[in-house]
């Protein structure tokens, strides 16, 4: 996959990028987006930036053996001109699974939705889900979900948004002890700290967005 800087009027960082022979042959080009958190909303940018928070607050996974949605985050990409998405996208999402005491552990997976958003209403385009990850009691594990999503040819109009929604679904086992928790990493600069200490699975969400190119 080739990486393309911000273009087609996606904001103040706009740069026009040429299309090479490989892009012409496949009919698609990719923009890499990084997801993070601003003061009051989540952000998606084609460049790295310092997220206000490196990861989410601890998400309680209690609730029994049935999968429940425990978190939902919307990342919006504002368009200043029309854009056509088409092709095989890839999104990677890191998380830290903290097992509870007394044999409390949990399963977790992510759902990702690609939607059109006009500022008030959403239109579903496509979605996908990750494999199920299993935690361990009284143990901290770092996991990375990698979701390939094939986006059908879809036109997004000027002034609209490409909305990427992330959902975390979990279920827990055993009722004794403290509930297991999960933190979702979302820092484009991939920083670590005293809480997120793993340097192999870094706390950054990366989305490779496929753009249709014309011959």
pLDDT tens string 193-206: 999 999 999 999 99
pLDDT of residue 120: 95
Count other C-beta atoms under 10 Å from residue 49's C-beta: 13
Q: How far apart are alpha carbons 66 and 119 in whole angstroms?
A: 33
- Of 15-19, 68-72, 103-107, 205-209, the range with the lowest mean pLDDT is 15-19
Residue 116: band (very low, low, confident or very high) from pLDDT cuts 50, 70, 90: very high
- Of 45-49, 59-63, 132-136, 176-180, the range with the lowest mean pLDDT is 176-180
Q: How far apart are alpha carbons 49 and 44 in whole angstroms?
A: 10
Q: How far apart are alpha carbons 87 and 167 in whole angstroms?
A: 22
Give me the torsion for CA of 145, 27, 119, 69, rounded to 10°.
Answer: -20
User: Mean pLDDT, to the nearest integer, of 126-133?
Assistant: 98
Residues 6 or more apart whose CB falls under 8 angstroms from that of 191 comprise 50, 54, 203
pLDDT of residue 212: 92
Residue 137: band (very low, low, confident or very high) from pLDDT cuts 50, 70, 90: confident
DSSP letter at 58?
P
Q: What is the reported pTM?
A: 0.86
pLDDT of residue 161: 97
């Amino acid at each position: 996959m080739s990486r393309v800087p911000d273009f087609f009027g996606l904001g103040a960082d706009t740069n026009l990028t040429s299309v090479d022979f490989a892009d012409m042959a496949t009919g698609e080009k990719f923009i890499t987006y990084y997801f993070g958190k601003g003061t009051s909303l989540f952000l998606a940018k084609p460049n790295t930036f310092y997220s206000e928070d490196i990861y989410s607050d601890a998400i309680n996974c209690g609730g029994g053996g049935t999968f429940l949605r425990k978190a939902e985050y919307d990342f919006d990409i504002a368009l200043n001109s029309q854009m056509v998405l088409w092709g095989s996208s890839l999104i990677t999402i890191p998380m830290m699974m903290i097992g509870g005491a007394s044999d409390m552990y949990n399963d977790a997976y992510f759902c990702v939705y690609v939607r059109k958003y006009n500022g008030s209403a959403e239109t579903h385009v496509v979605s996908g889900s990750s494999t199920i990850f299993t935690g361990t009691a009284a143990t901290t594990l770092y996991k990375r979900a990698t979701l390939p999503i094939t986006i059908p040819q879809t036109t997004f109009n000027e002034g609209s948004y490409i909305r990427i929604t992330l959902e975390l679904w979990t279920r827990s086992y055993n009722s004794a002890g403290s509930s297991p928790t999960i933190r979702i990493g979302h820092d484009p600069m991939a920083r670590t700290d005293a809480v997120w200490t793993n340097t192999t699975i870094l706390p950054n969400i990366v989305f490779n967005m496929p753009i249709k190119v014309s011959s």
